[in-house]
Chains A and B, each alone.
Chain A
Amino acid sequence: MKSCVIVFPGSNCDRDIATALEKMQFKNKMVWHKETALPKSDLIVIPGGFSYGDYLRSGAIAGKSIILDEVIKAANSGCLILGICNGFQILTETGLLSGTLLRNKKLKFINKDVNIKVMNNKTKFSSNYRLNQVLKINIAHNEGNFFTNEKHREQLKKEDLIAFKYCDEKGDISERVNPNGAMDNIAGIYNSKKNILGMMPHPERMIDEMISNTDGINLFKSLLN
């Protein structure tokens, strides 16, 4: 399986996701944002970090780069796209995903391991998980407070486009375990064709027992299927 990771000035989880992809046997290439063509890939990853310092709005400036035109083309032709953290923010800025990520409700950066629940295990990204499986994944962001309009909110529910929700160890979803104020505890969503996934938690940080746990591995394994 071929993958590529788009690198913007200020991306800082690019090496982490590349390491994870290689460990999971993807053939990965890094793509500098000034390039005008993408290598042939089955999966395009937009990594986490602070592209352009998160200045203006997180993801806004990266969303305007030329390489994004190519990503949009690839997305429209069905290529799998994964945006993690800042990558998720970039996807919403370009309109590949609807909704937006506002400041965390307490206005503080949050880094911790949180529980999230697999809400749909019938996608290319999640087939190796059980439905309603509870994962423990690290989050690290300033702006992870997912927000969208009522129409899109309904669509997310109706078309089963919510990928993950914040929950407790047992899988209960409540405001108490909502780390950032996200609407309906949403931690990640798909587009309606389900070839694009944007998520705030960092699966690439959870593939190594020594460092954390291995709850992120099945996301990559699903993609390899």
Chain B
Amino acid sequence: MKITEKIIEKHGLKKEEYENIKKLLNRNPNLLELGIFSAMWNEHCSYKSSKIHLKKLPTKGKQVIQGPGENAGVIDIGDDDAIVFKIESHNHPSYIEPYQGASTGVGGILRDVFTMGARPIALLNSIHFGSPSHPKTKSLLNGVVSGIGGYGNCIGIPTVAGETKFNETYNENILVNAMAVGHAKKNKIFYSKAKGLNKSVVYVGSKTGRDGIHGASMASAEFDENSEEKKPTVQVGDPFTEKLLLEACLELMKDDSIISIQDMGAAGLTSSSVEMASKGSLGIELELDKVPCREENMTPYEMMLSESQERMLMILEDGKEKHAKQIFEKWDLDFVIIGKTTNTKKLTLKYKNKIEGEIPIDALAANAPIYDRKWSKKKNEKNTIDFKKLKKIKIEDALIKILSSPNHSNKSWITDQYDQMVMCDTAQRSGSDAAIIRIHNKDKAIAVSVDSSANYCKSHPLTGGKQIVCENWRNLITVGAKPLAITNCLNFGNPENEDVMGEFAECLEGIKKACEFLNYPIVSGNVSFYNGTNKKNIFPTPVIGGVGLIKKIFKPIGHSLKKDKSFLILIGKTFGHLGQSCFLQENYSITEGKPPEVNLTNEKNNGEAVLKLINENLIDSAHDVSNGGLLVALSEMTISSNLGVKIEKPKKLNNTIEYFFGEDQGRYILEIGERNFKKVEKILKTGNIFYEKIGVTQQEFFEVEGELKIAKNDLFKINNQWYNNY
């Protein structure tokens, strides 16, 4: 079969890349080999546009056991416990088929975590949709939410936190990012690096079908006109099989049978075998006749590029095959030795006793292209908003507008569809700043949260990058956890566009600065480029997933108010920054302006002070002030509890709108019992932390003196109607 220009193009390879392939091979590739190159060299597997930027990120720290480069990151949480976690995007598949796209996204990220020997203990997600009035949004939202729930609920891992946002920038390209967190024993982590010659390469899990072979289907339709047209098929998730795979893997991992293990994710058998061999500087030989297939007459090309779900590749120690097979058969799963490791440093593919393809591993991995793409710096936006020209609005009306908007409405319509309690260690469910998961049978816990701020990142990528790391950090602090490390999912537009690449470079710079300052390293992540349509790229949307540690958990602290007549204090200075605020967006549809400054020193000091207060058991509830500002944060505390608040009129700022809706960073609201107030003041004063007493808790009413007084139940209703009516 002749490799035409069309075929090369259909495989997403550039002309120069094809020339490069020929050079590396010293000959022309055949179709199978071309398919393999195209899979390994695409953006998703090779990170060719992002690699040089990602290299700059801080990935080390005392707490880091394994940074980026493995299936997931691993951190130390003391004793013999480790936490394994990662976030991944499934944006494009979810737009095509929301239920299956989202559910296979969850399945994929879970495999990344349990391949490393961890039992998954929590799922999170960050989902972004287009405008609620866009005709597709409703069914996409429904499909994605039930897909996420469908997978997590069935496999029995609690979905405990996430974020849901609407913005017309995602009209044609929604974002579905899923994060999984697992628990492992520190000395029982499994890696993907192959070791040893002539070891059995074993295929386990589901059978291989023609799922997601895009290049293949298109190419074959082109040059094989007589054959029945093969449509690209959507991957269907099978959480039941994944549950079996999870249990079987963990059972086998109890002893030392496994040398190396890798899930088959994107580019399936190809990327898993190449990755194992590449890390171990070995070769791999596969006999494709042995691959368990679901459909008849599958070709080597299809087997190598299939993205069928719920499959794994393992390399086993000599003599352990029988024992391992027994375990997988107990769980009704396929177990087949399909090849062996070699010293050739080549990927060798045999089919029907013939070598159908042979490629040096280095050509696929180490020598994959890397691009230093052109990028341009974002021009500083001038703060053009003339507040005097805006129509006057009452604080109460503005607040109601925000609380009843799609972006700020209560998310229980979503979270009630997720099993948050299975495994019985969820000490704090969705609804607070971070979820808390207790480590099974111990009295320590981890806190988890995912965050993004696309508007900030669009307006000023550098500040936006810093801000999301800080917001995520704050969310863990407010539940009393020491933030340890993060994973990140970088959702951006077309990297061949200089502005998009600029957003990427600057966001990353911001993330880097904040992570370094806060000693909050990045241990895993994922890049998703090409989000958007030909002409319109999505807003830059990096998503941060953080994990923190609560060394000894007594009672989970959240943001719902606990006692009547407590003091409410605000940590951090309020300047009243309204640029990029949701006050302007929801009330005036103004999206211009700069995001609030991020002062890393203040962030760190304020956060550490709050953590100290919580650790000394002086705080009854805590909430960070972010999107929406002070009044929205106070409303959230009220709505999630049985109490109201009575807030004093601000003394210094004369513009109450700025005071109540400004989105200045580094701020927290704390509820403190009167008897603890002196102690708290002392600690804050010694730490040189700016704070002000803003009011007290009370029964029944949400009140700002002289401005507004709303019954608590009404506030609840305002916040809870949107999803139910949508």
Contacts and interface: CB of A to CB of B under 8 A. Distances in A.
A binds B: yes
Interface of A: 9-10, 12-13, 15-16, 19-20, 34, 48-50, 52-55, 108-112, 138, 140, 142, 202, 204-205, 208, 210-212
A12 B556 contact: no
A210 B556 contact: yes
A159 B234 CA distance: 52
25 contacts: A9-B240, A10-B240, A10-B243, A12-B154, A13-B422, A16-B423, A19-B441, A50-B243, A53-B154, A53-B243, A54-B240, A55-B240, A109-B417, A109-B419, A111-B418, A111-B421, A112-B412, A140-B421, A140-B422, A142-B153, A205-B421, A208-B424, A210-B556, A211-B426, A212-B421
A109 B553 CA distance: 30
Contacts of A204: 424
Q: How big is the B interface, by class?
A: 35 or more
Contacts of B330: 34
Interface in B129-171: 146, 149-150, 153-156
B238 interface: yes
Given A111-B421, A211-B425, A12 B243 contact: yes
Given A50-B153, A53-B240, A210-B553, A110 B425 contact: no
A212 B13 CA distance: 54
A88 B239 CA distance: 21
A16 B243 CA distance: 16
Interface of B: 146, 149-150, 153-156, 238-241, 243-244, 330-332, 412, 415-427, 438, 441, 553, 555-556
Nearest to A107: B146
A110 B420 CA distance: 10
A15 B421 contact: no
Contacts of B150: 109
Nearest to B244: A9
Contacts, number: 88
Given A208-B424, A210-B427, A210-B553, A10 B154 contact: yes
Nearest to A11: B156
Contacts of B427: 210-211
B421 to A, nearest CB: 5
A111 B330 CA distance: 31
Nearest to B153: A109
Contact of A53 (B238, B415, B424, B553): B238
A211 B422 contact: no
Contacts of B331: 9
Contacts of A111: 153, 415-421
B243 A9 contact: yes
Contacts of A138: 421
Contacts of A212: 421
Given A53-B240, A111-B416, A211-B426, A202 B154 contact: no
A86 B154 CA distance: 11
Contacts of B244: 9-10
Most A C-beta atoms less than 10 A away, residue of B153, B412, B553: B153
Nearest to A48: B422
Contacts of A53: 154, 238-241, 243
B422 A108 contact: no
A220 to B, nearest CB: 14
A108 B423 CA distance: 21
Contacts of B412: 112
Contacts of A50: 153-156, 239-240, 243
Contacts of B553: 210
B178 to A, nearest CB: 17
Contacts of B153: 50, 109, 111, 140, 142
Contact of A210 (B155, B240, B420, B555): B555
A52 B239 CA distance: 10
A214 to B, nearest CB: 13
Contact of A109 (B146, B240, B438): B146
